[in-house]
């Protein structure tokens, strides 16, 4: 049987969440890079696969799956219904709050020449740090004592923006400990750290370019 094929970019946080999950479960993927800055996600061929024109997009046999949270959940789900619901809730937190707010800051600057890196947008992202700190108050991972896909999805997003929206170490010690815990995974730097750092550098460079500096 052929390997599942993943359309992805290392710059893309949800793509990195999928790559972290695949690595954690030892799943081999055929990797098909997509350059968003060159608009490769807007070609007629890609739109046929994914009319939502987003990455990651997974092709597994006859199936096409087009959302990182959905992809991760097809590979790694708890049989405990309450635990599953908790993981789902954190995936929605990533999708609906964390990633949505990062996208609101990043996209206009990366793609449309905006210079709007306002304190409001930053503070709106940092509101999420309070939520995450709360979930980590009495447990090492977002859904308890075990690492889950919720941690992978959230960490890929958080580490993509923690330069523009810093995480105060004194206010958010649990988040810092969680980030350190994830960074200790043997595959972390290669699969998430490098891409997150690159995205943050590109964001800074684009913002300076748009501001005419």
Ligand X SMILES: N[C@@H](CCC(=O)N[C@@H](CS)C(=O)NCC(=O)O)C(=O)O
Name the site residues for ligand X (rule: CB under 6 A). Answer: 12-14, 36, 41, 53-56, 67-69, 95
Q: Which is nearer to ligand X, 29 or 36 (CB)?
A: 36
Per DSSP, the chain holds a count of helices (H) and strands (E) of 10, 4
Q: Residue 36: helix, strand or coil by DSSP?
A: helix
Q: How far is the CB of 131 from ligand X (least distance, A)?
A: 18
Q: Which is nearer to ligand X, 22 or 55 (CB)?
A: 55
Q: How far is the CB of 95 from ligand X (least distance, A)?
A: 5
Q: How far is the CB of 72 from ligand X (least distance, A)?
A: 9
Could you give phi then psi for residue 142, rounded to 5 degrees? -65, -25
Identify whether 166 is preceded by a cis peptide bond (ω within 30 of 0).
no
Q: How far is the CB of 200 from ligand X (least distance, A)?
A: 13
Q: Which is nearer to ligand X, 12 or 86 (CB)?
A: 12
Q: Which is nearer to ligand X, 83 or 95 (CB)?
A: 95
- Rounded distance, CA 154 to CA 95, Å? 9
């Amino acid at each position: 049987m052929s390997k599942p094929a993943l359309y992805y970019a290392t710059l893309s946080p949800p793509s990195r969440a999928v790559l972290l999950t695949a690595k954690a479960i030892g799943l081999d993927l055929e990797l098909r890079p997509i350059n968003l800055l060159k608009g490769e996600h807007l070609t007629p061929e890609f739109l046929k696969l994914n009319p939502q024109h987003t990455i990651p997009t997974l092709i597994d046999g006859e199936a096409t799956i087009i959302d990182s949270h959905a992809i991760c959940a097809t590979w790694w789900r708890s049989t405990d219904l309450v635990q599953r619901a908790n993981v789902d809730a954190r995936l929605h937190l990533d999708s609906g709050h964390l990633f949505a707010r990062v996208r609101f800051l990043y996209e206009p600057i990366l793609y449309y020449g905006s210079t709007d890196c306002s304190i409001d947008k930053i503070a709106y992202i940092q509101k999420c740090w309070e939520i995450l700190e709360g979930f980590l108050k009495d447990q090492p991972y977002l859904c308890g004592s075990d690492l889950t896909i919720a941690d992978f999805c959230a960490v890929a997003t958080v580490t993509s923006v923690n330069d523009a929206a810093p995480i105060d170490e004194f206010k958010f010690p649990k988040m810092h400990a969680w980030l350190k815990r994830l960074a200790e995974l043997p595959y972390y730097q290669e699969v998430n750290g490098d891409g997150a750092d690159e995205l943050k550098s590109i964001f800074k460079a684009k913002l300076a370019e748009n501001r005419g500096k």
